[in-house]
C-alpha cells in the first residue's frame, strides 16, 4: 500500500493540532520562517514540504476511469487545502496518490480523476496526500464572438497527463517538443511544429499506440482528429486572404494555442511584394494580443494590439527587445502599440462554429 505524505506542522495553527500525522515517505522537516515560508531561501530545487493548511490549485486532466465520464468535466479547476492524512476513512476528504512529478506540475490520481497540481513537488510516485475541497471552477467555454477568445487544446492537455503515467519518456518528449526553455529557442520550436504538424503526422503513431495501450484509444482518436482538423483549416480557402496555422506551445502546465495568420500571395503578385503576417495568442494576465507585421524589403513594421492598454514598463521592454532583434537580423523598423476592441486580422470570425479545436 502506498505511504501517506508526511506533512510539517502549521506555522500558526488555530485550535488543536492532530499529532497523529502519518509518517510515510520520509520528507525532511523545515523550520518555518517569520514570513510564513519554510526552508533555506537559497534553495532552488522544488520544495517537497507541504504545511497543513497550504492551499494549491489543481486542474482535472482525465476522468477516474479510462473512457468513462467523470464527476467533473476535463479542465475544471479546483482549490484544495492540504490536511492531515486521516487515521480512518473520511468521506469528506479527497485522497490523492502521486502519479508523476517530472514536469512543471504534480499529477495526482483521485476519485475525481487525474488532477494536475499547479506546483511541482519532488515527491515519489505512490505518495498519498489528503485534501479538503475549497472551491470549484468549471472549465472555460468559448463564446465564439471573436477569434481572440482563445481556448486551448483539451485533448492534448489530457494526453500529456495520461502519458506522464503510462509512458513517462514519451510525455517528456512531448513537453520538450512543445515547451521552449528560453526565448531564443522559441523560433526553433515554432519551426519544428510548423513542419511536424502541417507537413508530417505529429503527434505520431507512438503517441497513439501508447494511449491505446493505456486504454485511452478514444483520447488518441480525439487527438488525431484535432490535428487533422488543424491541417484542414490551414488549407481551407474559406479563411479568405489569410492562411491560418495553429501551433501548440506548452506554457507552464497547459497548452497555449498560438495562431499564425499568413496573407496568401496572389498568383499575379510580384516576387518583391510585401509579406504580411499576424500572430495571435491569449495570455493569462494580459488577455488576447495580436502582433501584426508587414515586411517590405528590409523594413519591418510591427503593431502590437491588445484589448486594453499594456503597462508602460512592458511596452518599453518589448520595444527594446524588438529593436535588438531587428538590428541582429539586419532589418530596420520598430514596434508600436494600439488598443482595439477588435483586431485588424480576423480570418476565423465566421468559422468558429465549424472548428473542433478551441483555437
Residue ending a domain, among 139, 173, 197, is: 139
Mean pLDDT computed over every residue of the chain:
76
Residue ending a domain, among 107, 139, 171, is: 139
Residue ending a domain, among 106, 139, 172, is: 139
Q: pLDDT tens-digit profile of 279-301?
A: 988 876 778 889 999 988 889 99
Comparing 45-59, 220-234, 257-271, 286-300, the range with the smallest average pLDDT is 45-59
**Structure confidence at residue 183 as a pLDDT band (50, 70, 90):** low
Domain check: are 76 and 225 in the same one?
A: no
Mean pLDDT for the stretch of residues 223-237: 86
- Counting the structural domains of the chain, the total is 2
Phi, psi at 16, each rounded to 5°: -75, 155
Domain check: are 237 and 292 in the same one?
A: yes
- 196 within some domain: yes
Domain check: are 131 and 256 in the same one?
A: no
Domain check: are 128 and 181 in the same one?
A: no
Q: Which domain holds residue 343?
A: 154-265+274-354
Instruction: Specify the pLDDT at position 102.
Output: 63
Mean pLDDT for the stretch of residues 243-248: 88
Mean pLDDT for the stretch of residues 308-332: 89
- pLDDT of 14 > 80? The answer is no
Against a cut of 0.85, is the pTM above it?
no
Contact present, 231 and 198 (Cβ < 8 Å): yes
Instruction: Specify the pLDDT at position 209.
Output: 93
- 11 within some domain: yes
Amino acid at each position: 500500500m502506498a505511504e501517506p505524505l508526511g506533512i510539517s506542522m502549521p506555522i500558526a495553527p488555530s485550535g488543536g493540532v492532530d499529532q497523529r500525522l502519518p509518517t510515510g515517505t520520509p520528507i525532511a522537516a523545515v523550520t518555518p520562517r517569520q514570513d510564513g515560508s519554510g526552508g533555506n531561501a537559497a534553495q532552488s530545487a522544488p520544495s517537497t514540504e507541504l504545511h497543513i493548511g497550504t492551499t494549491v490549485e489543481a486542474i482535472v486532466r482525465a476522468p477516474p476511469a479510462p473512457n468513462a465520464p467523470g464527476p467533473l468535466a476535463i479542465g475544471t479547476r479546483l482549490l484544495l487545502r492540504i490536511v492531515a492524512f486521516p487515521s480512518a476513512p473520511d468521506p469528506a476528504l479527497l485522497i490523492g496518490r502521486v502519479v508523476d512529478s517530472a514536469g512543471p506540475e504534480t499529477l495526482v490520481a483521485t476519485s475525481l480523476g487525474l488532477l494536475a497540481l499547479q506546483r511541482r513537488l519532488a515527491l515519489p510516485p505512490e505518495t498519498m496526500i489528503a485534501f479538503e475541497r475549497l472551491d470549484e471552477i468549471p472549465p472555460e467555454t468559448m463564446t465564439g464572438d471573436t477569434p481572440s477568445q482563445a481556448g486551448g487544446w483539451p485533448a492534448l492537455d489530457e494526453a500529456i497527463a495520461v502519458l506522464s503515467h503510462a509512458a513517462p519518456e514519451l510525455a517528456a518528449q512531448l513537453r520538450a517538443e512543445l515547451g521552449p526553455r528560453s526565448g531564443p529557442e522559441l523560433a526553433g520550436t515554432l519551426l519544428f511544429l510548423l513542419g511536424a504538424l502541417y507537413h508530417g503526422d505529429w503527434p505520431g503513431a507512438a503517441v497513439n499506440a501508447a494511449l491505446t495501450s493505456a486504454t485511452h484509444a478514444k483520447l488518441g482518436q480525439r487527438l488525431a482528429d484535432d490535428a487533422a482538423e488543424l491541417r484542414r483549416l490551414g488549407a481551407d480557402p474559406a479563411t479568405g486572404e489569410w492562411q491560418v496555422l495553429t501551433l501548440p506551445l506548452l506554457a507552464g502546465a497547459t497548452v497555449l494555442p498560438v495562431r499564425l495568420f499568413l496573407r496568401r500571395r496572389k498568383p499575379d503578385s510580384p516576387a518583391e511584394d510585401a509579406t504580411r503576417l499576424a500572430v495571435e495568442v491569449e495570455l493569462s494576465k494580459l488577455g488576447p494580443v495580436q502582433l501584426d507585421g508587414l515586411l517590405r524589403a528590409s523594413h519591418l513594421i510591427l503593431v502590437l494590439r491588445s484589448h486594453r492598454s499594456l503597462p508602460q514598463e512592458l511596452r518599453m521592454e518589448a520595444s527594446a527587445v524588438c529593436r535588438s532583434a531587428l538590428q541582429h537580423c539586419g532589418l530596420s523598423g520598430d514596434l508600436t502599440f494600439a488598443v482595439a476592441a477588435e483586431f485588424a486580422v480576423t480570418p476565423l470570425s465566421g468559422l468558429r462554429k465549424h472548428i473542433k479545436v478551441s483555437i
